Every structure is written in structure tokens, then in C-alpha cells.
Amino acid sequence: MSNTDNQGPLWEVFTQKKAGLAFKHSGSVHAYDKNLAIEAARDLFTRRNEGTGLWVVKSEDIIAVAPEDSESFFEPADDKIYRHPTFFEVPDGVKNM
Amino acid sequence: MSENIEELERQFQEKIDNEVKIEPRDWMPDGYREHVARQMSQHAHSEVIGMQPEGNWITRAPSLRAKKILLAKIQDEAGHGLYLYSAAETLGISRDTFLQWLHEGKAKYSSIFNYPSLNWADMGAIGWLVDGAAIVNQVSLQKTSYGPYSRAMVRICKEESFHQRQGYEIMAKMMAGTKEQQQMAQDALNRFWWPSLMMFGPHDSDSARSSKALKWKIKRESNDTLRQRFIDKTIPQAEFIGLKVPDPDAVLQPDGSYKTGEINWDEFWNVVKGNGPCNKQRLDHHIKAHEDGKWVREACLAFAENQN
């Protein structure tokens, strides 16, 4: 008996829990085309009212930062601490800021 | 070169010690990769094979309500298998390869599913005990060090607690029923109690792989710790509805935990090795279902190719 790899490509599934919330990665499904992918995603990830919105995207179309690049990619943010409100001194007694 | 590996291993262990999750493209020792792949695929196979003993009773459920609930539960098991296969695939092994390893007998699934489900009371015992044991294990695994596995566990735990209640409700109803129904419930407990305790695996002292898995935080708690937690939860649940676990040595200790008799490990290893009552039937059925679906996969693939 031999199995060939014929489960179809992998798709990443994103669900939106409530209108107004950000879409969040839920997991992935195998499917042969986008229609089957969205149906499989519905069956698998919205069995308990988890969704008001659903996206699927082919995994191979996602561009991700490689772990070995993450330092050079994200570190420049480290020396710009003035982007955070806690950087600034607010005189005692000033309210609502 | 070997120094480099040592350094990578040191950094890896440091991440683990600091509770930083490992993600698919991070460096990891080969042993870690193998252990996580084996454990996740075994877990996935268990969910999927676990559909069979319950599927056996869908058409014979005693009411429409019971039938709908059982269907929903089995659909969940399929879903949980799919979450876990996807998580396992992040290690670069294809779904078909995992299935092939299952069919060739290279990959295992939980031995509990090699016991037959003889009557409706078994649906109660399976939901209450088998899912109950699985939940104890899975709650602990939510904190596993491999990110995709951990996320799958969080999702599964959210969904799984209804399964145990579904089983316990069946048992409670039977215990409130006729004498025959009570006997059926007790008989189901008698048959599923020991195999449920075996689900946690060998004693810590006999579990070769455990120490590494604990060091890497793939497993967060030992087999015996988890088993004891399950025992301590379950015995009072049994007593509450008038059932008695089939263990003459079970005694409540002053600290609130139960001391229990020794598990029949010969039976455990015998079933693991393939000699349980239903090993062949379970695997044959899975292979047949997979083969029967072959033309659907091929047609879908051909259709998708034509669309391009």
C-alpha cells in the first residue's frame, strides 16, 4: 500500500470572533481549492459560534520573517523608547494625561 | 561544528527553561523534533481512531437527543484530529506520511480504543472516563513547549469538557434507572476503569522517554502525577451516582487522595503490541476508509488543476 501526498495544499485560517474585532489566526486546513478551503475552515473552526468572519489564505502565499533574521528585523525598535508614553515625565498633580 | 551544536542546544534549553515556546522554524535538537512529531501524531491518530468505538452506536442511540449529541462529539474528535495533524505537519512531515506510518503500524494510537464498545452504557463510560483521562492529560499539555501543539491543546480543551459531561450524564441516568440499567453502567465501568488508568502510560520508573520529555517540557507532568489526579477526581464522581470502581484495594487516604491497586501491565503491553480485542479491526477500518476516499481526493485534485 502506498500513500501519495494528495491532501491538497495547506491553507491558513483566520476568524473574527465578533464584528469589530481583529481577525486572528485559528489554524490550518488542507483543501484543493478556495471554495473547499473556506467550507473546511467553517466546519473545523466555527462549530461553536466562534466566527462572524472567516478568511483563508494559501500558506505558501504568506511571507514570514525567518527566525534568524528576527534580530535585525525587530531590534531597531529597541532604541526608540520615546515611542512609549512611559518615557515622558509628567509633573505630579497633572491629571487626565 | 560540534561546539556550535552545543551552543545551539544550550540556547534551546535556555528558552525552554524560560518558558519561551518553540516555533516551527526555530532551531531544535533532532531528538526534540522526533519526540514532538511522534507524540503529536500519536495524539492525532488517537482522536481519529477514537471515533470508531462511538461511531458504532450512532444508529442505535436511545433517543434523538442522545444521537445528536453523540454525532456532535464524534465530529469534535475529527476536528481535534485535524488540529493535531496540522500542528504535527509544521515539523515538515506531510499528513499522508503520518497516515502511512499509522497504516504500517509504525505509529501508535491510544490503546484504549482497542477495546470494544458493547452497549450504550459504554458510551457513558467512554465519555466520562476516556475523555476524562484525556482532559487531565490535555489540560497539562496546554503548557507544552512546542507552540503549535500548545495552541492546538488550548483549542481542544475548550471543546472537550462537554464530552466528559455527556458521558457522565449517560451514567447518571442509567444509575437512576432500572436494576438492569444500573448493572449495565457498573459493568461498563468495570471494563473501562483499568484501561483508562493505562491511558497515562507506564509508571514514571518504567517510562524511558519521560525524563527527556519533561526536561524539554514537551510533557509538563509525569504519567503517575496525571494518573493520580484522574483517580482522585473520578472515584468521588463514581460514588456520587452509586458506582464502585473495580479495585478492592482503592482506599481514601487522610490527604484526600486515593491509594489504588496495581495495574495489570502485561495486559497494557499486550494491547500496545497489537493483541487487544480490536486492534486489527480499528486499523483495517481506517485503511478502508482512507482507500475508499481515494477517488474523491483524486477527483478534487483533477478538478482544481483544470481550474488553473
Contact B76/A at CB under 8 A: yes
Kindly report the nearest CA distance between residue A89 and chain B, in angstroms.
33
What is the predicted ipTM? 0.86
Q: Give the model's pLDDT for residue A72.
A: 87
Give A5-57 pLDDT, tens digit per residue: 788 999 999 999 999 999 999 999 999 999 999 999 999 999 888 889 999 99
Cell 486546513 -> residue: A29
Judging by DSSP bridges, how do beta strands A24-30 and A10-16 pair with one another?
Answer: antiparallel
- How many CB atoms sit inside 10 A of residue B95's CB? 21
Give B132-146 pLDDT, tens digit per residue: 999 999 999 999 999
pLDDT-derived band at A78 (thresholds 50, 70, 90) equals confident
Instruction: Name every chain B residue with its beta carbon within 8 A of the beta carbon of A1.
Output: 103, 287, 291
User: Between A78 and B154, where is the model more confident?
Assistant: B154
Q: Which residue among B26, B152, B287 places its CB closest to the CB of A67?
A: B26
Kindly report the nearest CA distance between residue A92 and chain B, in angstroms.
37
- Would you mind telling me the total number of residues written for chain B in this entry? 308
Question: Is B93 in a helix, a strand, or coil?
Answer: coil
Q: Give the model's pLDDT for residue A4.
A: 56
d(CA B175, CA B258) in angstroms, rounded, equals: 23
Give the three cell numbers for residue B264: 495489570
pLDDT at residue B184 above 60?
yes
What residues 102-131 of chain B have any CB closer than 8 A to a CB of chain A?
103
d(CA B200, CA B186) in angstroms, rounded, equals: 22
Cell 472516563 -> residue: B129
pLDDT at residue B284 above 50?
yes
- Would you mind telling me the total number of residues written for chain A in this entry? 97
- Model pTM? 0.92
Instruction: Report the sign of the C-alpha dihedral through residues B296, B299, B302, B306, in that order.
Output: negative
d(CA B36, CA B55) in angstroms, rounded, equals: 29
Q: Which of A53-62, A87-96, B95-104 has the lowest mean pLDDT?
A: A87-96
Q: Give the model's pLDDT for residue B194.
A: 98
Q: Give the model's pLDDT for residue B1.
A: 53
What residues 36-75 of chain A have any CB closer than 8 A to a CB of chain B?
36, 43-44, 47-48, 64, 66-67
| Residue pair B37/B91 in contact by the 8 Å Cβ criterion | yes
Instruction: Name every chain A residue with its beta carbon within 8 A of the beta carbon of B303.
Output: 32-33
**Percentage of the residues of chain B whose pLDDT score is greater than 90:** 92
Average pLDDT score over residue span B59-82: 96
Q: Which strands, in side-by-side order, build the sheet including A10-16?
A: A24-30, A10-16, A53-58
d(CA A25, CA A27) in angstroms, rounded, equals: 6
Amino acid (one-letter) located at B148: P
Q: Give the model's pLDDT for residue A37.
A: 96
Contact A22/B at CB under 8 A: no
pLDDT at residue A95 above 60?
yes
pLDDT-derived band at A70 (thresholds 50, 70, 90) equals confident
Cell 470502581 -> residue: B245
d(CA B136, CA B199) in angstroms, rounded, equals: 11
Contact B298/A at CB under 8 A: yes
Average pLDDT score over residue span B165-171: 96
Q: Give the model's pLDDT for residue A73.
A: 87
Average of per-residue pLDDT values in chain B: 95
pLDDT at residue B65 above 90?
yes
Average pLDDT score over residue span B165-177: 97
pLDDT at residue B199 above 50?
yes
Average pLDDT score over residue span B214-220: 95
Strand partners, A24: A15
pLDDT-derived band at A3 (thresholds 50, 70, 90) equals very low
d(CA B52, CA B251) in angstroms, rounded, equals: 34
pLDDT at residue B86 above 90?
yes
B231-to-A54, A55, B65, B137, B227 alpha-carbon distances in Å: 41, 43, 30, 12, 6
Beta-carbon separation of A27 and B25 below 8 A: no
